[in-house]
Amino acid sequence: MKIVVGHLYPDYLNIYADRGNIAVLARRAAWRGHELDVRTVSVAEPVRPGEYDLLYVGGGQDREQALVAEDLAAKAEGVRAAVAAGAALLAVCGGYQLLGRSYRDFHGVDLPGIGLFPLETVAGETRMIGDVLLECELEPGVRRTLAGFENHAGRTRLDPGAEPLGRVVAGFGNDGESGWEGCRVGRAVGTYLHGPLLPRNPWFADWLLAQALAHRLGEPPELTPLGDDLEQQAHEVSARRAQTRGGRR
C-alpha cells in the first residue's frame, strides 16, 4: 500500500537531523511491503484534506519559524481538516510550537499558530537541553517509554484537560514544571524530542505507520514485527543517559 506523506517545510524546518524520522518510516514501511510517497509542502502550497495519510513538520530555530509562521497559518484549515478526516501527524519542536495557538519568541514577537494542539508557548530566558525519557500510554493499558533529546527555550502550557504525549521520567518536557511532554489530539502528536526521535523508538515509528494506514483502512492494522535489536539498544543507551540526569526537573 502507498502511504502518502506531506512533509511541511523541509527546506526551513530541518535542524537536529529530524528529517531522519522520514527515513525510518520509509524503511520500516518498505520492510513490510508498503511504499512511502513523500511530497514536499512548502511556502504557498496548500494542504488538501484527503490527499495525505501522514503530515510531518520538523524543528527549526526562531528565524526559520518566523519565516514560515504566516504561511503555515494560511494552511491552518487544511491541516486541521486533514487530521479531522483521519490523517496522522507528527510535529517536532519548532513545528510542535507552531501547531499550537501561538508562540512568543525570545524577542517577544508573537508568531501565529494554527490551533491544532490546545496549547500556547512562550520562550523563556534559558534553554532546556539534554536527554529525556517519557512514559507513554498511546493504547489503553499499554505503557511504553520514549527516549530522545530536547533543546528548547519554549515553555509550552497545555490547556486544562489536554492530552500530553507522555509523563516525564527524566528531563524537562513541555515546561520543566508540569511533568508532561508533548501533546496528542487523536492521530496527531507534537513533541520536543529530537535526535531524531524514531530511530531509537521503533514502537513509536510503527504506531505512526499504523495510524497513517488507518487513514485508508479505517482501523490501525497489526504490523508484522521486525527484528529491532539495534534499535532497542539505541533506545536503552538514550534512556540511561536521560536517567543520569535524575528525576523530572
Catalytic, out of 93, 136, 183, 235: 93
Instruction: Based on the residue annotation, tell me whether 107 is a catalytic residue of this protein.
Output: no
Catalytic, out of 7, 152, 194, 215: 194
* 29 Cα distance to chain centroid: 18
Angle, helix 202-217 to helix 20-30, in steps of 10 degrees: 70
Check: CB of residue 96 under 8 Å from CB of residue 191.
Answer: yes
Instruction: Based on the residue annotation, tell me whether 183 is a catalytic residue of this protein.
Output: no
**DSSP per-residue codes, 199-249:** GG-HHHHHHHHHHHHHHHHSS---PPP---HHHHHHHHHHHHHHHTT-SB-
The residue whose grid cell reads 526537573 is 249
**DSSP per-residue codes, 43-104:** TT----TTS-SEEEE----HHHHHHHHHHHHHTHHHHHHHHHTT-EEEEETHHHHHTSSEEE
Q: Which residues are catalytic?
A: 93, 194
